[in-house]
Structure 1
C-alpha cells in the first residue's frame, strides 16, 4: 500500500517571534518540522555530505578506527536495525577538538577536516538556537543549551535495485532532546503521525529537518512529542545524511522541567540517567520510545 506524502510545517528562522506559535504547534503535535533561513550556506551543506560519503570508501580497518566512546557511538556497519546503512559517529560534536580527532582517525584531508569542523560548529549553534525557541514556546524563560553534550553521525545508505521497498533503518525514536537532520536528496523518510499511520516526508533542499526525541518528551513533562520514524529504500541511488543530536543536560540527568510541573500537570517521569537509558535502548532493542515506560512516575 502506498504511503501518503505530507509537507511538514516549515519554520522561517528569520521571522521570530512571529513563527513561535507555529514552531510550538509542530513540536508538540507532529514532533518534527523543517527550518529554513537558518544561516548555513547550501554549499557547506553539500560539501559536508560529500565528506561523509567519502568515509564509506575507506578500507574496513580504517573505518574501525572510529571507536565507541559509549555503546554504538562509533562506526556501525550493516546490522539488523540498519541493514542498508554504514554510519560513523562523533561523540562530542560541540567540541572542535573532538571533530578534528575523528577526522584524523578517518585520515581525512585538511580540506575535509575544515569542512566537517565548520559544519559541526554552525549546526551546533543552530541546534542550540532551535532548542531555546522550543523552550520559549513552552513558556520557559532563560533555558540555556550550549553546554548540553551533542553527538553527530554521518550516514551512508547502500541502496540497490534489490533493496527497493526494504527498511533501511527500522522504526525508532531519537534518544536525545532534539535532532537537526541534514537529509540526502533521496527520499524514504517516514514518520508516524498523530493518528498512528506512516506518512512519507520528501527531502527539501536547503532546509534542515528537526526531530523531537525521548529526552525532549521527558524534559517537557510530556508536552513535546517524540516522533517515531523509519527509513525505507525507495530507489537504487546513494543516500547520505548527517544527524546532529542535542543529547541531554551536562550532568546526564533528565527530568521534567520544574516550571512545567504543577497540580494540573503532575510529574510524568522520574529522573532518568541518560547513559543508562541509551544503553537500555540499544541492548534491549527498544528504540521505539517504549523504554520510557520504565521511567513513568508512580501514580
Structure 2
C-alpha cells in the first residue's frame, strides 16, 4: 500500500473531536482576584485533562467575532492568490522569518505581528501603493489574539495548580509572538495527497485558526494518528515543547502534521507564543516533587530551537526535547 493511500485510510478511519473548551465558562476578567477562584470552575478540570492527555484542545466562544475571522480569511486568501513574483518580494535570507514557498505549501512568517510596523513591512513589499484593509484587519486580529493567548496561558497555569497571576508575570509576561499564514494551493501540481512532516511546536502555546477544509492530524500518546474534524470559527490550541518542559512533563506536546489534498485550497493561520530567545527554561519547584521528579535540564530556548531546525531526524521522530534536555 502506498504511503499516501495509507494516510488517506487513516484519516477516514480515525477521525476525532478534540476536547472542547468553552471560554465563556471562565470569568471575563482574568486579572487579580478572579484568577484566584479559577479552581472553582468545572471547565478547568476538562482543560487539565486535555493538556495532560492530548496537548491539544478546541476553543469555542472565545470572543473573537465571526465577522473578523471571516475578514481575516478573505484578506489572506487574497494575499496568497497574488502572483508568485509579487509574493517573492517578501522573501529574505531567513525563510522562517519571511515568505517561503515550498513544493506543496507556502507561508508568510511575521515576527511580532502585534506591532503594526511588522505587518506594514510585509505590506509595503507586496503592495508598494499600500493596502490599508489588510493592515488594519491583521493588526486588529493580532491584538485580539495577543489578549486571547495571554488569557489562555493564565488558565493553563491555574490548571497546573499554580498562582496564575504570579507565575504569568514572573515567567510568561515577556513572551514573544509570531504569526504564520499557511497556504496549500490547488494550483500546485500535487497528485493525490501530500503529507507535511510531523513535528512538535518548540514554543509555549499555539493558537491556530483554519478554514473548513480539514487536514490537521495529531498523534496520540499511544502513537496513533487522528484526523481532527474542522469546526467553523473555532480555534485549535496546542502546547509546545517549551511548555511541556516548563511544566516538568505534566502537560503533553503532541506530534502533528497536515495532510493536504492537492485539488483543494487550504488556509490556516498559526499564532505562536514563545519564551524570549535567551530565556533559560526550567520547571519551577512547585511542579517538582517525589512523585514528579525533575525531567529536564535547564536549557536556553534559542539553542533548543536551533537544535530542532538543524537536526531534522530528531524533529521527525518527535524526540528533540528528550534528546536535548532530558535527564
Q: Same fold (TM over 0.5)?
A: yes
Q: Does residue 282 in structure 1 map to residue 309 in structure 2?
A: yes
Distance 1:280 1:150, change over 3 A: same
| Equivalent position of 1:25 in the other structure | 49
| Equivalent position of 2:132 in the other structure | 110
Q: Does residue 253 in structure 1 map to residue 276 in structure 2?
A: no
Query: Are the aligned partners of 1:96 and 1:121 in contact in 2 as well (CA < 8 Å)?
Result: no
Query: Are the aligned partners of 1:173 and 1:213 in contact in 2 as well (CA < 8 Å)?
Result: yes
SS in structure 2 opposite 1:278? helix
The two structures, once aligned, show a CA RMSD in angstroms of 2.1
1:88-237 correspondence to structure 2 within 5 Å? 88-107=108-127, 109-141=131-163, 142-144=166-168, 145-159=172-186, 162-167=190-195, 169-234=196-261, 236-237=263-264
Q: Does residue 271 in structure 1 map to residue 271 in structure 2?
A: no
Question: How far did 1:47 drift?
Answer: 1.3
Gapped regions of structure 2 (runs ≥ 5): 1-5, 27-40
Provide Cα deviations, 1:191-239, integer angstroms capped at 9, x if missing partner. Answer: 1012211111021001100011111111111011111011112462210
Number of paired residues? Answer: 293
Name whichever structure is richer in helix by fraction: 2
Question: How far did 1:86 drift?
Answer: 0.2
Rounded to whole Å, the distance in 2 between the matches of 1:248 and 1:197 is 30
Rounded to whole Å, the distance in 1 between the matches of 2:273 and 2:224 is 27
Distance 1:287 1:74, change over 3 A: farther
Rounded to whole Å, the distance in 2 between the matches of 1:62 and 1:264 is 56
Question: How far did 1:279 drift?
Answer: 1.8
SS in structure 1 opposite 2:223? coil
Rounded to whole Å, the distance in 2 between the matches of 1:246 and 1:258 is 23
Rounded to whole Å, the distance in 1 between the matches of 2:285 and 2:94 is 29
Distance 1:296 1:66, change over 3 A: same
Rounded to whole Å, the distance in 2 between the matches of 1:262 and 1:232 is 40
SS in structure 2 opposite 1:210? strand
Provide Cα deviations, 1:166-190, integer angstroms capped at 9, x if missing partner. Answer: 21x2111111111000012211111
Q: What TM-score, normalized by structure 1, do the two folds share?
A: 0.90
Question: How far did 1:35 drift?
Answer: 0.5
Distance 1:212 1:44, change over 3 A: same
Higher gyration radius (CA): 2
